[in-house]
Amino acid sequence: MKNFYMQLALNEAWKYQFLTYPNPAVGCVILDKNEKILSISAHQKAGEAHAELNAIKEALKNLKSEFNFPKKADDLYHFILKNHQNLLKNATAFVTLEPCNHQGKTPPCAKLLAELGFKKVFISVKDENKIASGGAEFLQKQGIEVEFELLCKQGEKLLKPFLKWQKGSFKLFKLALSLNGSAYGKIVSSEESRTYAHQIRSVIDMLVVGGETIRKDRPLLDSRLVKAKAPHVCIMTRKSLESFDKNIPLFSVPKRQIFTQIPKEAKFLMFEGGENFLKNFKDEMDCFLIFQNSKLNTQNNVKISLELTPMYKGFLGSDTYGIYEL
Amino acid sequence: MKNFYMQLALNEAWKYQFLTYPNPAVGCVILDKNEKILSISAHQKAGEAHAELNAIKEALKNLKSEFNFPKKADDLYHFILKNHQNLLKNATAFVTLEPCNHQGKTPPCAKLLAELGFKKVFISVKDENKIASGGAEFLQKQGIEVEFELLCKQGEKLLKPFLKWQKGSFKLFKLALSLNGSAYGKIVSSEESRTYAHQIRSVIDMLVVGGETIRKDRPLLDSRLVKAKAPHVCIMTRKSLESFDKNIPLFSVPKRQIFTQIPKEAKFLMFEGGENFLKNFKDEMDCFLIFQNSKLNTQNNVKISLELTPMYKGFLGSDTYGIYEL
């Protein structure tokens, strides 16, 4: 069953893939001393609770619904240290990435697991980050049993985007298709898919789009479905910025910067477009995010020779989506 | 968590959807007295163990690996009655369909759950079949707590094919697509997808194909990937059977009967074909099984106006597949 529990932690983490930028996506499952599942959680957003802290909170809530947890990660951490009542004594944790051992925006997760008396911690991937690593060693010194490399390959896949943007830049191509491969129509995807896309837009450094799409679709390109920060936009065009109709909605988004060349500081870029844009940029992409609805229609499909390898597939409303690499 | 466990049972059952014909697809999850997951199982094939019996076997194996279980469902049932050592005393079962209460090809599951001392049984859908029903009432009379209608809508979706073929006939259309919606190429789907399709072929009453496909593709249309019974074939053609080249491999499959009209006795029919065949028969289909690989290519897509509602989506190797209704 240990693979099953780690897979639950991995799947939960994938739901927040890209949204944790610049942090890695991490999932955590906690079992009580009798191996009953207490929680399945993930890190959801940079600055908020790590996966372990979220999972511990959910586990405690599951055991005692009257807990009134503070919201801020730092306060939550200290509240739990003070009020855990040994409820998680001899519990087991499955974490997709080695628990951190350093004081970042939140205090070290390894210390929390030790203080609460966890018996065993399963880890999919060792943390190679020099600042945060050492969590497993710390746990072992506190007498906690640690087992490494459980579903290690799957754990490494989950970390790929993080390792890319940490070392330089990460480029994601977003494509929305019908079940028979056409990209036409203004709203192709389910509301759940578009919400995920807007969440990604709210955390990226730059949204990259083609001049052709902008003239034709006159888009807004903001993050309205999650009421969050709209991304800066880089328009790939041979013409000047002045040549665009300034009434196209995207130009009126407050605090938005418009670029015509990708700035070097941009580390997480999402490319959005159709067939031509995909043809031009596919070879420099790190990942592809493809939403697909449940309708066949009579329109032409996107025609391009592209063999993708699935990293993860999931469902959003009536859509399927896949995160692929070349 | 109770929804989570029932969802696990439902997902496991969907893996064997269609393969249990003429029986319904049923899943079962068992937790021990401390709510640790002991097994996640399903009914896999008519004549073999029901979901509950399979799940009980797996749970006992999980607790005592030295059990040497007999293979035949009937023997297995009696072996467990004799040798269970109260290991599942106070266990909980999640079953997607009310446990049967009658002696069919296998003895009643309700009796087995009671004899083993289960504490609680969650049921998604009540069995409306007059012969097999009454299981829940029996359990309650034995002092076992029963909770009905857990994820009832999902449970009903799972049962739809069964209710259809039980009441008359069930028609399934199988389509294999690339990620951009083309149906061309001899091998479109992953080996895992083709294996599932061959498993379905081995249980159906009739495989229905178009004359055009047969002349062009010269297929074998057997169940070689699972080394099982090849289906009888009904060829939908305006021409006579004599007009086909008798060297087309499908005509040489031993024990195969060839029809040109669908016989009334055929209750489970699978239609296989491409765009034209789909256009001709889509309106009389009960379900659509669509496999989709992870490749985009430069070929034309299947063009047809068809809004589908997903009943289940899953993964087979690098393919996605969906089971849809109109």
Angle among Cα A270, A276, A277 to the nearest 5 degrees reads 15
Q: How far apart are CA A204 and CA A253, in angstroms?
A: 16
Contact A313 B315 (CB under 8 A): yes
| Mean pLDDT within A44-70 | 97
Q: Which H or E run includes B172?
A: strand B170-177
Query: Which residues on A lie below 8 Å from B324 (Cβ)?
Result: 294
In chain B, the residue whose alpha carbon lies closest to the alpha carbon of A292 is: B179
* Residue A308 near residue B295, CB atoms below 8 Å: yes
**Count of other CB atoms within 10 angstroms of residue A76:** 19
- How far apart are the C-alpha atoms of A319 and B15, rounded to whole Å? 20
CB of A283 within 8 Å of any CB in chain B? Answer: no
**Tens of pLDDT, residues A129-182:** 777 678 999 999 999 999 999 999 999 999 999 999 999 999 999 999 999 999
3-state secondary structure of A317: coil
For B244-290, how does the pLDDT look when each residue is reduced to its tens digit (9 = 90+)? 999 999 999 999 999 999 999 999 999 999 999 999 999 999 999 99
Q: What is the tens place of the pLDDT at every residue in A175-226?
A: 999 999 999 776 789 999 999 999 999 999 999 999 999 999 999 999 999 9
Q: What are phi and psi of A217, to 5 degrees?
A: -90, -20
Report the Cα–Cα distance between both ends of chain A, in Å, rounded.
Answer: 32
Domains of chain A from N-terminus onward: 2-165 (3.40.140.10), 168-325 (3.40.430.10)
Tell how many helices (H) and how many strands (E) occur in chain A: 9, 15
The beta-carbon contacts of A278-282 under 8 Å, at least 24 apart in sequence, are A278/A173, A278/A175, A278/A302, A278/A304, A278/A306, A279/A304, A280/A210, A280/A236, A281/A171, A281/A173, A281/A208, A282/A173, A282/A306, A282/A326
pLDDT of residue A132: 66
Q: From B294, which residue of chain A is nearest by alpha-carbon distance?
A: A308
* HEC readout, A24-40: CCCEEEEECCCCEEEEE
Note the pLDDT tens digit of each residue in A75-122.
999 999 999 999 999 999 999 999 998 877 778 999 999 999 999 999
Segment 47-66 of chain A within 8 Å of chain B by CB: 62
Identified catalytic residue from A12, A35, A48, A52: A52
Residue B167 has pLDDT above 80, yes or no: yes
Backbone angles phi, psi at A171, to 5 degrees: -115, 125
Cα–Cα distance, B81 to B59 (Å, whole number)? 14
Task: Using the predicted structure, report yes or no on whether residue B132 has a pLDDT greater than 70.
Answer: no
A326 touches chain B (CB under 8 A): no
Q: Give the distance, in angstroms, between the CA of residue A32 and the centroid of all CA atoms in the same chain.
A: 27
Q: Distance (Å, rounded) from C-alpha B209 to C-alpha B222?
A: 13
Positive or negative, the Cα torsion across B152, B155, B159, B161? Answer: positive
Which among B275, B270, B273 has a CA at the least distance from the CA of B199? B270
Q: What percent of chain B has pLDDT over 70?
A: 99
